Structure 1
C-alpha cells in the first residue's frame, strides 16, 4: 500500500542554511518515526510559504545518505490570509504495511499547532 505522511515545521529566518537545516530536521524526524527506507518512497513534495525564498527546501534531502534518487519537488504554499508564516510542509508517499491510523505525522516548532489531532 502507498500511504502519505505529512509534516510541517517553521523556520526562524529566511536564510539558506536555516531553510535547509530546518527542512532536514523535519525530514529526518518523519523518516525515523515511520521507519522509512528510500527504496520505499515514491515521491516527496515540499511546499514553503511566500516568506521563504532563500533556498529550495528540497536541497535538504540531498544531505541524507541514500536519498539521491528519490523524486522530490518544491512548490509554493497557498498564500491564505492569516496562515502560519515561515512554514515548510512536507508530504512523503511511501510503501508500507502500516494502517492509516498508524502513520506518524510530524509537526514541529510553530507548526505543532496546525494539527493537534495528529
Structure 2
C-alpha cells in the first residue's frame, strides 16, 4: 500500500543552516515514527513559504544514510493571506503495511498549530 505522510516545521531565520537542520529534524522524526527505510520511499515533496529562500530543504535528505536515490523536489507554497510564515512542509509517499490511521504525521515548532488534532 502507498501512504502519504505529512510533516511541517518552521524556522526563525531564513538561513541555510537552520533550514537544513529543521528539515532534517522533521525528517528524522517522520522516519522514526513510521519505521521508514529509504527503499520504501516513493517520493518526497517539500514546500516552503515565500519567505524561506536561502536553500532547498531537500538538501537535508542527502545527509541521511541510504537516501541518496530517493526522488525529492521542492516547491513554493501558495501565499495565502494570514498563513503561517517561515514554514517548511513535506509530503512523503511510502510503501507501508500501516493502516492510514496508524501513520504518524509530524508537526514541529510553530507548525504544531497547523494540525493540533495530530499530536506528534
Question: Does the pair score TM above 0.5?
Answer: yes
Aligned-residue RMSD, C-alpha: 0.5
Please name the residue that 1:47 is paired with.
47
Please name the residue that 1:63 is paired with.
63
User: Partners of 2:2 and 2:66 in 1: how far apart?
Assistant: 20
Gapped runs of 5+ residues in structure 1?
none
Gapped runs of 5+ residues in structure 2?
none
User: Partners of 1:64 and 1:86 in 2: how far apart?
Assistant: 23
User: Partners of 1:114 and 1:90 in 2: how far apart?
Assistant: 13
The 5 Å alignment of 1:79-118 reads 79-118=79-118
Q: TM-score, normalised by structure 1?
A: 0.99
Please name the residue that 1:29 is paired with.
29
Q: Which runs of 4+ in 1 moved over 2 A?
A: none
Q: TM-score, normalised by structure 2?
A: 0.97
